[in-house]
Structure 1
Amino acid sequence: MSTDVTAFRTPGLGDQTYLLVHEGKGVLVDPQRDIDRFLSAAAERDVDLRFVLETHLHNDYVSGGEQAALRTGAELVLPAAAAPAYRHTPAFHLEDLDGGAGLTVRPVHTPGHTPEHTSYLVLIDGEPVALFSGGSLLVASAGRPDLLGPERARSLARLQHVSLRRLAALPPGVALYPTHGEGSFCTATGAGRLTSTIGAELRTNPLLAIGDPETLADTLLAAPMPIPAFYRHMGPANTLGVPPMPPVQVPELDAPAPGTHVVDLRPRQAQARGMLPGSYGIELDDDFGSWTGWLLPYAEPITLVAEPGQDVAPAVTQLAQIGVDTVRGVLRGPGAAATQTYELAGLDAFVKLLARPGAQLLDVRMPAEREQTPLAGAVERFLPDLFAQGVPGELDPARPVLVACASGRRAAIAAALLAREGYRPIVLTGAGVAELGTALRDHRAA
């Protein structure tokens, strides 16, 4: 008898989808919209996909659950209180679902991350072996309770206390497979490893040591992370149903499609040399879709600018994962029209520029990052706030603006916006604020 679990990581969203296989029977948990990668893995192993399970109406991506069930004939299971607009089996607390071959799925109502949230305990021949905890109990953390608004946050945080203790009472050897993990904005505190066991969490998860619901609520709500702007569109989409994934191939263009936002996804070195006037610069990485969905008006038409030969399929896929199906095409290299520029500076050069009289510095990190590692003398504006509120009035467009973050990625995105607005940005690249602070202290001591 064999049972195994395959995890499919989506780094840019900090999430995982799981495929559990037992004696040829399969259970797919919290699938993202690009379902081909999951279904191909199941088909390669000749798996009879019995269930597609959703732990909650997701806030951070649009689901592929309905389409996966339609493609395979699997039974789509959602929390009973979710009540989506499409056909599904409602999961009621402790009402077992029989998957055959000794495989049983037991729903466990675990409100807190969302009101309807349900975890799924998998039993093999009556013995509990695996828990798919979605956004409830996470590795060294728990799902945040404030995504549905501050009015409900404390009530949900108290419910999270009940749910965590409910799951912690399971046998210590049960494997823990949460959907949200490191890099997810759905975690209340910094999640660590991706998977664990109930026993390991009892020993190491600080939230399980909190015995009082109010104290847990205080802890979960003490310093919440920002909420990406596109999150507010995910719940409604997952309630109403999501169409199939669009093709990842897009037309090749000679000029930006009319009425589109131009997003340059080339490496920052190419962007710095020249971008199309009025374009945004978000170089392609695992979190391209998240930043684009957060910073630009949601789901408005987009033209991509890429290097010759650069694969844009990952960009289209990431956007589709959050319901943005509006890429109109790709322009290969902006050519002579690329007159919007910014500068890149390594650590030593950046420190020397900061030492000049009248130097102005912009810090685009999150508030919690700034509090942990302050950058003296900097004008502070979190990157999404820079897009939403505009460039701080303290910055003089007649003088260069030095821009820093933790690694250079967000600073480069900010620099493209500053250049678009007529400023002269210089990005700290290849280093971040931590290294900059040390270098500044050494420079002043020399």
Structure 2
Amino acid sequence: MGFADDHLIPLVDHGLGNSAYLVDLGDGRALAVDAGRDLRALHTAAGRRGLTVAYAADTHLHADFLSGAVQLGHDHGAAILASAAGHRSFDHRGLTDGEEADLGGLTLRALATPGHTDEHLAFLLLDDGRALGVFTGGSLIVNSAARTDLLGADRTEELARAQFHSLRRLTALPDDTAVWPTHGAGSFCSAPPGTERTSTIGAQKRDNPLLAAADEDTFVRRLVTGPGTYPAYFDRLAEANRRGPGLLSGTPRLPDLTAEQVRALMADGGHVVDARPAADYAAGHIPGSVAIPLRGQFGTWLGWLLPDTAPLAFVTADAQDPDDIVWQAYKIGYERLAGRLAGGMPAWTAAGHRQATTAFLPADRTHGRSYVDVRQESEFAAGHVPGSIHIELGTLAEASAAAPVGAVVACGHGERAMTAASLLERAGHTDVAVLDGGPADYAAAHGQELVQGPEGTHP
């Protein structure tokens, strides 16, 4: 078949920083690569073209989202293609290095590319023997390569050396071969910032700084230096993907809960997640609730900060779609969703229950307060307020004692800082304020210049 550019449909999850791909095979069938459990966008794209997903290929045992391959097998009868070395416990075709799958005109060839994970495969898409593009998953990504520390510190260097050889293998492909990675900007699997999510082999040979490394040792040093922390739920999902996620018959419902049911859930060890915008949470919230504003990164912070073993109740604003909460939770394996508070905070206060408030201050009203920056290390190093106390949000629950009395908590805009404030309040802080803005706003209001580098106070 002739392969046109519009036969490939990228499906980007900006919140997790990943791309799935839908390939129109030209005969009413499609190939899905690295599809996540939230298949709404994929089903919409396939429906527009009248496509049935005949094949679902996974490049590796994903640690940052649950795979949608099993669901596609159930819903579409898709044949699942994955590495034989992954030892998945559900029906699939296990591929080894060099094995090919005939897609009916196009061919998919498995290339063993360990590094990000042990069993990682790249999939080379061929048309009559000509390389069209390669689905590189977490091996070669735009201007980088995915992290190699997810299997533990004792294996990081070994896997980084494997990643070196995997990238060299991929760059032996023709320069005009398209590169279609899974991980991209925003992924905690170590993609650099930037807007480009696809590339070509030739462009990566020219622009990827890792490929400019003079030798293997230099490559390894560059790759393993400073990949940053990653969400706690990453440690659970690879095994969940090996077993295969449970099948769903549609969007799971988020039942309505009364104020008394929410109180009982909290008393029994459950958690309340307030998904409203930061300003709404500041104006009034359930004491002990955790603020995680509903946006693309909602699932990341849910999976980083709360366990998957306790029931969760949610507080929402009127305009928020509960389906978005459900899918962000389910795509990272959080299924103990008890429901949401019917009527929101007005129902809570109408039932006679106390609400708490949090100061949400513009920069010019923060004088005299210590400044706690809860952004990631790379963001902090790129520019921070002089004298900042730096505590990453993901570690704050354990390091809450390091936050000074009367501090103003800040991030880039205020969403993560409100989450941080809610965690500090749960830990007993009663005088927390949140900066409505970011470090540049604070510096301008206080006559300061941002400084770069890791210098600062770290607990």
Which category of TM-score, normalised to the shorter sequence, fits these structures? over 0.9
Q: 1:306 to 1:200 in 2, by over 3 A?
A: same
Per the TM alignment, residue 244 of structure 1 is displaced from its structure 2 partner at its CA by 2.0
Partner of 2:435: 428
Q: 1:92 to 1:415 in 2, by over 3 A?
A: same
- 1:27 and 2:31 aligned: yes
- 1:277 and 2:283 aligned: no
- State the distance in 2 between where 1:248 and 1:348 align: 45
Q: How does 1:308-319 map to 2 (within 5 A)?
A: 308-319=318-329
Aligned with 2:134: secondary structure?
strand
Which AA in structure 1 matches 2:300? S
| Contact in 2 for aligned 1:401/1:423 (Cα 8 Å) | no
Q: 2:146 aligns with which of 143, 146, 152?
A: 143
1:127-182: per-residue Cα shift (whole Å, max 9, x none)? 11111100010011111111111111100001111111111111111111100000
Per the TM alignment, residue 379 of structure 1 is displaced from its structure 2 partner at its CA by 2.6
Partner of 1:366: 376
Q: 1:191 to 1:217 in 2, by over 3 A?
A: farther
1:42-93: per-residue Cα shift (whole Å, max 9, x none)? 2432334332100000010111111212221221011121111111111111
Per the TM alignment, residue 375 of structure 1 is displaced from its structure 2 partner at its CA by 2.9
- State the distance in 2 between where 1:159 and 1:443 align: 43
1:334-377: per-residue Cα shift (whole Å, max 9, x none)? 23235211111123333xx2xx3xx3222212233333324333
- State the distance in 2 between where 1:43 and 1:376 align: 53
Q: 1:195 to 1:262 in 2, by over 3 A?
A: same
Q: 1:442 to 1:211 in 2, by over 3 A?
A: closer
Which AA in structure 1 matches 2:168? R
RMSD: 1.9
| Contact in 2 for aligned 1:361/1:377 (Cα 8 Å) | yes
- 1:208 and 2:215 aligned: no
- Which 10-residue stretch deviates more, 71-80 or 136-145? 71-80
Query: What are structure 2's unaligned runs of at least 5 residues?
Result: 451-459
Q: How does 1:368-387 map to 2 (within 5 A)?
A: 368-387=378-397
Q: How does 1:317-396 map to 2 (within 5 A)?
A: 317-331=327-341, 332-335=343-346, 336=349, 337-350=353-366, 353=367, 356=368, 359-387=369-397, 389-393=398-402, 395-396=404-405
1:84-136: per-residue Cα shift (whole Å, max 9, x none)? 11111111111211111x21001111111001100001011221111110001
| Contact in 1 for aligned 2:299/2:332 (Cα 8 Å) | yes
| Contact in 2 for aligned 1:113/1:144 (Cα 8 Å) | yes
Aligned with 2:150: secondary structure?
coil
- State the distance in 1 between where 2:59 and 2:115 align: 12
Per the TM alignment, residue 2 of structure 1 is displaced from its structure 2 partner at its CA by 4.1
- 1:182 and 2:185 aligned: yes
Partner of 2:171: 168
Which AA in structure 1 matches 2:184? G
| Contact in 1 for aligned 2:82/2:93 (Cα 8 Å) | yes
Partner of 2:88: 84
- State the distance in 2 between where 1:249 and 1:309 align: 17
Per the TM alignment, residue 41 of structure 1 is displaced from its structure 2 partner at its CA by 2.5
Which AA in structure 1 matches 2:103? G
Per the TM alignment, residue 188 of structure 1 is displaced from its structure 2 partner at its CA by 5.4
Aligned with 2:37: secondary structure?
coil
| Contact in 2 for aligned 1:32/1:62 (Cα 8 Å) | yes
Q: 1:68 aligns with which of 66, 72, 76?
A: 72
- Which 10-residue stretch deviates more, 246-255 or 405-414? 246-255
Q: How does 1:233-244 map to 2 (within 5 A)?
A: 233-244=236-247
Which AA in structure 1 matches 2:25? H
Per the TM alignment, residue 195 of structure 1 is displaced from its structure 2 partner at its CA by 0.9
1:216-239: per-residue Cα shift (whole Å, max 9, x none)? 111111112102101011011001
Aligned with 1:145: secondary structure?
coil
1:253-275: per-residue Cα shift (whole Å, max 9, x none)? 12215232001111111111111
Which AA in structure 2 matches 1:268? A
- State the distance in 2 between where 1:393 and 1:428 align: 18
Partner of 1:290: 300
User: Structure 2 length normalisation: TM-score?
Assistant: 0.90
1:282-328: per-residue Cα shift (whole Å, max 9, x none)? 11111111101100123421000012343221111101000101111
- State the distance in 2 between where 1:128 and 1:37 align: 27
Partner of 1:129: 132
- State the distance in 2 between where 1:443 and 1:339 align: 38
1:384-418: per-residue Cα shift (whole Å, max 9, x none)? 1112x14124622xxx3211122222111111222
| Contact in 2 for aligned 1:274/1:338 (Cα 8 Å) | no
- 1:39 and 2:55 aligned: no
- State the distance in 2 between where 1:252 and 1:163 align: 50
Q: 1:52 to 1:440 in 2, by over 3 A?
A: same
Query: What are structure 1's unaligned runs of at least 5 residues?
Result: none
- State the distance in 1 between where 2:449 and 2:443 align: 10
Q: 1:442 to 1:212 in 2, by over 3 A?
A: closer
| Contact in 2 for aligned 1:188/1:225 (Cα 8 Å) | no
- State the distance in 1 between where 2:106 and 2:387 align: 60
Task: Give the count of matched residue pairs.
Answer: 432
Q: 2:420 aligns with which of 372, 397, 414?
A: 414
Which AA in structure 2 matches 1:220? L
Which AA in structure 2 matches 1:436? Y
Which AA in structure 2 matches 1:342? T
Q: 1:365 to 1:43 in 2, by over 3 A?
A: closer
Aligned with 1:424: secondary structure?
coil
| Contact in 1 for aligned 2:364/2:446 (Cα 8 Å) | no
